[in-house]
Amino acid sequence: MSRIHIRGLMGVQILQVAVGLSKESDKDPDDCVICINNEKTEVLSAEELSNQLHHVFDAKCRVVDIDSKEKTPYWVEGAAISIFENRENIFKFLVPRTDMIDNIFPFSEGKSVAIHIRGKDKDVASIESCRKLLDMAGSDTIIYTDDKEKVKEISVSHRVSKNELFIDDWIDMYNSPIIYAAPSAFIMSMLVFNPTKKMVFMNEEMCDGEYPASAGDFLFLREAMKFCKNVSII
């Protein structure tokens, strides 16, 4: 019996489980268990770290929550390559929920450009860098964020999503024509479902906040770009 250990919020869970399942080509769903390691931290509860995969997948294998901290890193060399060379193997265990993701394969027509501004959990980019990103994205945009107070400092003229739930932000951005963002698992996880998704990411210099994007995120992103031709780094 194979056990895939994952830990984190939804985007991290998606990338970690994709790495693990991409290497299980000789297994059937009955031979695999996905273990969601949900031991609480100082800032995240066990509930927040529990199974988030159900929002976007129907599981064909067992998925269990366990009180532990093990994980399968996506931020190491070869992880993204393994995912994109073996996507069909991932979907043997986890089937994308097209009832949740409205347009899972083609991107939507007529929707605004999406900008993702991260703040509360990890302040990846400064106010100045976020303003540069908005300028690059143009005027017909909508901002998605977990930190509306930070966005008020960045711009008072841009529209801001009124979504209350993170999954609604994820689905809306997935179905936007293009996303501008700093590298994060929340955004990069969409490429598992649609490698043709258009995304523009801040470079390392622009990720100048109190918690800059890690080298591991850029490693994953640059490997993914070999397969995801509509992804670019500014």
- What proportions of the chain, in percent to the nearest 5, are helix, strand and coil? 35, 20, 50
pLDDT of residue 103: 54
Residue 194, pLDDT above cutoff 70:
yes
CA distance 46 to 65: 9
Q: Which residue has the higher pLDDT, 118 or 91?
A: 91
> Which pLDDT value is given to residue 101?
67
Question: Measured between alpha carbons, how far is 27 from 1 in angstroms, rounded to an integer?
Answer: 9
Average the pLDDT over 136-146 and give the result: 93
Picking from 173, 184, 186, 105, the residue whose alpha carbon sits closest to that of residue 144 is 173
Residue 26 pLDDT greater than 90, yes or no: no
225 vs 64: CA distance, rounded Å: 32
> For tokens 């100048």, what's the residue?
208
In the numeric block, which tokens belong to residue 2?
Answer: 């194979």
In this prediction, residue 16 has a pLDDT band, given cuts at 50, 70 and 90, of very high
Confidence (pLDDT) at 212: 72
Q: Which residues contact 106 (CB under 8 A, 6 or more apart)?
A: none
**pLDDT category, 2, cuts 50, 70, 90?**
very high
| pLDDT value for 1 | 84
Tell me which residue has tokens 């890690």: 214
The mean predicted confidence, pLDDT, of the chain is: 92
Which among 23-27, 121-125, 192-196, 213-217 has the top mean pLDDT?
Answer: 192-196
pTM score, two decimals? Answer: 0.94
Q: Choose among 49, 31, 173, 38: nearest CA to 113.
A: 173
Q: For residues 64-90, give the mean pLDDT.
A: 97
Share of the chain above pLDDT 90, in %: 84
Radius of gyration of the chain measured on its C-alpha atoms: 17
> In the predicted model, what is the mean pLDDT of residues 43-72?
96
| Tokens 């009180």 -> residue | 67
Long-range Cβ contacts of 155-163 (<8 Å, 24+ apart) = 155/131, 158/115, 158/134, 159/112
